[in-house]
């Protein structure tokens, strides 16, 4: 006997499937600063020693951890303790080894790698600042007055005029 | 607190915000939602029909479609923010935010929101980096003091 189609029931089933399909995974990159006290191999070994249900990928900058959000957060918290001032982490949109981004498939550095390379140079200084925090005053940016703005415009205009005459 | 960072894919900013117990609003989390969307064949190259509509809230129809598409991702993040940290003059080719007009529009919206904002310049030397980190930490601590 065939079952009757019930749109309401079907809708409810669709919604529950949607919730199931909702992504609860997260990928985090663990980046070691140039002055880190642990090596990339040691980091990966320690991550494995945690025996947590996550995928660990060894990379040139450190490691990548993929798994359930809560578990990944726990792993990151533990990893930070190994070298607080030299271990940095950030989220990654694509899971590890995703063919759309993976360097191995693309044949060139993946998007975002160049930015990571630039920031990597500064990480040792960031770690230093975190180690020895100093109190600084933050200057509030204020709007300039109309008179000041007129002066700037006049100054700039005269400069342009001088350059034009030359 | 939810802190919008600019560039929204910055490792240093995201990490520093997280260290102080706040939630950084990063582009990677938004991209992840797209990556996992079964409707899209090759994310983030393609977009759904809802994305241009979302983008229209932030950029007019005359604005290039690329800006509108990007704003459909950046815009909701800006709306969600309780505070913002903007780092100007980040190196060219800073990941997926290579569109100068979108960057200008995003910074404009962040300033327009009227939320506590810290504006900095991308550091190039050791001294500048130390100052940047201290300023960010002071700013985040002040936010905590103000909001308990």
Surface-to-core class of residue B106, CB atoms within 10 Å of its CB (0-12 exposed, 13-18 middle, 19+ buried): buried
Cβ atoms of A34 and A123 within 8 Å: the answer is yes
pLDDT at A1 over 60: no
Which has more confidence, A9 or A57?
A57
Residues of B within 8 A of A88 (CB-CB) are 11-12, 15
Number of domains, chain B: 1
**What domains appear along chain A, each with residue ranges and CATH number?**
23-131 (3.30.70.2860)
pLDDT at B43: 61
CB distance A138–B139 less than 8 Å? yes
* Interface predicted TM-score (ipTM) of this complex, two decimals: 0.87
CB distance B123–A125 less than 8 Å? yes
Q: Chain A contact for B112, CB < 8 A?
A: no
pLDDT tens-digit series, residues B80-137: 999 999 998 887 655 556 688 888 899 999 999 999 999 999 999 999 999 999 999 9
pLDDT tens-digit series, residues A64-123: 999 999 999 999 999 999 999 999 999 988 888 777 777 777 777 777 777 888 889 999
Nearest to A125 among B31, B33, B129 (CB): B129
Mutate: best of A21, A24, A129, partner B, most B CBs <10 A? A129
| Domain containing residue B91 | 2-147
Instruction: Give CA separation, B1 vs A34, A84, A89, A154, in Å.
Output: 31, 22, 19, 44
Both tokens of B121, joined, read 């310049």
CB distance B138–A136 less than 8 Å? yes
Q: A53 CB contacts (<8 Å, ≥6 apart)? A: A67, A68, A71
What percent of chain A has pLDDT above 90? 52
Residue B7: is the preceding peptide bond cis (ω within 30°)? Answer: yes
Cβ atoms of B80 and B26 within 8 Å: the answer is no
Which residues does A contribute to its contact with B (CB < 8 Å)?
21, 23, 26-27, 29, 31, 88-95, 98, 100, 111-112, 114-116, 118-119, 122-123, 125-126, 128-130, 133-138, 141
Q: Chain A contact for B123, CB < 8 A?
A: yes
Instruction: Give CA separation, A125 vs A31, A92, A133, B123, B132, in Å.
Output: 14, 23, 12, 10, 10
CB distance B126–A94 less than 8 Å? no
Which residue from B54, B58, B107, B60 is spatially nearest to B85, judged by alpha carbons? B107
Q: Chain A contact for B74, CB < 8 A?
A: no
User: Which CATH number do you get for residue B87?
Assistant: 3.40.50
Q: B75 CB contacts (<8 Å, ≥6 apart)? A: B54, B55, B57, B58, B109
Residue position matching structure tokens 């936010």: B143
DSSP character string of A114-143: HHHHHHHHHHHHHHHHHHS----PPPPP-P
Which residue from A90, A33, A123 is spatially nearest to B27, judged by alpha carbons? A90
pLDDT tens-digit series, residues A75-84: 999 999 999 9
pLDDT tens-digit series, residues B23-62: 999 988 888 888 777 667 666 566 777 888 888 999 998 9
Q: In a 3-state reduction of DSSP, which class is residue A149? A: helix
pTM comes to 0.82
């Amino acid at each position: 006997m065939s079952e009757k189609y019930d749109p309401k029931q079907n809708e409810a089933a669709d919604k529950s499937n949607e919730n199931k399909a909702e992504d609860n995974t997260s990928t985090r990159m663990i980046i070691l600063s140039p002055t880190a006290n642990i090596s990339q191999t040691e980091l990966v070994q320690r991550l494995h020693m945690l025996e947590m249900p996550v995928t660990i990928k060894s990379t040139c900058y450190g490691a990548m951890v993929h798994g359930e959000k809560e578990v990944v957060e726990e792993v990151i918290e533990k990893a930070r303790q190994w070298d607080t001032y030299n271990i940095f982490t950030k989220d990654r949109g694509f899971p590890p080894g995703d063919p759309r981004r993976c360097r191995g498939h693309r044949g060139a550095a993946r998007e975002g790698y160049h930015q990571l390379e630039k920031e990597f140079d500064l990480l040792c200084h960031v770690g230093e600042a975190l180690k020895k925090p100093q109190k600084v005053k933050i200057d509030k940016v204020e709007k300039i007055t109309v008179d000041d703005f007129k002066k700037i415009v006049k100054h700039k205009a005269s400069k342009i005029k001088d350059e034009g005459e030359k | 607190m939810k802190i919008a960072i600019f560039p929204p894919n910055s490792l240093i900013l995201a990490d520093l915000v997280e260290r102080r117990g706040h939630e950084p609003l990063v582009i990677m989390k938004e991209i992840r939602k797209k990556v996992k969307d079964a409707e899209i064949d090759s994310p983030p190259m393609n977009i759904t029909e809802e994305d241009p509509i979302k983008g229209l809230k932030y950029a007019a129809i005359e604005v290039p479609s690329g800006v509108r598409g990007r704003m459909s991702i950046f815009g909701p993040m800006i709306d969600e923010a309780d505070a913002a940290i903007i780092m100007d003059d980040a190196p060219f080719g800073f990941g997926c935010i290579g569109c100068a007009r979108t960057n200008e529009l995003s910074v404009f919206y962040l300033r327009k929101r009227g939320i506590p904002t810290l504006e900095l310049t991308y550091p190039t030397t050791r001294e500048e980096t130390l100052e940047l980190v201290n300023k960010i930490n002071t700013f985040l601590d002040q936010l905590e003091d103000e909001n308990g």
